[in-house]
Amino acid sequence: MARILPRNVHLKNGREVVIRCGEEKDVLALLDGVKNVLLDGEGMLLEADEFSKTEAEERGWIKSLNENPQELLLVAEAEDKIVGTLDFHIAKRRRLSHSGSLGMSVQPGWRNCGVGNALLESLLQWARSVPEIEKINLNVRADNDRGIALYKKHGFVQTGCAKDAVKLGQFNFVDELSMEVFVRS
């Protein structure tokens, strides 16, 4: 079972978050958080009305992440609310299983003050302690300047660009970038 010790982090705006593992007790807060982030829409691929996960499905997702020692679900908790999440999934095929991918989001009112930074720091620290994990991948919209800045700060480099991968309107396309960082070097 993948675990990290909870860690308190002081943010740029003077507030404080705790970075800890997400647990089944967080299921409703996590579901509400996803819906909120999708309604806001920034940086997202999925549209809000496409999200249909049930409480039981979300609970199963949390459980399976927590049961796998090479996967991790992190939450940033502040003022009794979950204000950010990060999930890391290891690739399932043996020849790819030295790498995994991450997804993350921070609630709209909490962005740009270091929550994402704190989540990513905890992931990378944990990943460096798991011998099987050598590389972390992610995909990010090319218009997500804040996300790209955060990933580069933590050593991610761009490895590819899917031209016009995201269609936002009839004539509005955005590229999707792939990025990766090696955690063993």
Residues making contact with ligand COA (CB under 6 A): 37, 42-43, 104-106, 111-117, 140, 144-147, 149-150, 153
**170 or 172: CB nearest ligand COA:** 172
**47 or 145: CB nearest ligand COA:** 145
**63 or 113: CB nearest ligand COA:** 113
Residue 126 Cβ vs ligand COA, minimum distance, rounded to whole Å: 17
**68 or 144: CB nearest ligand COA:** 144
The helix/strand/coil state of 126 is helix
Distances (CA, A) of 118 to 59, 104, 157: 24, 12, 19
Residue 3 Cβ vs ligand COA, minimum distance, rounded to whole Å: 22
Quote the CA–CA distance of 100 and 82 in Å, as a whole number: 24
Residue 75 Cβ vs ligand COA, minimum distance, rounded to whole Å: 13
Residue 56 Cβ vs ligand COA, minimum distance, rounded to whole Å: 25
85, 160, 52, 72: which is closest to 123 by C-alpha? 72
User: What strands, in cross-sheet order, belong to the sheet with 157-169?
Assistant: 7-10, 16-21, 72-78, 81-90, 99-106, 135-141, 172-182, 157-169
Give how far the C-alpha of residue 55 lies from the chain's centroid of Cα atoms, to the nearest Å: 20
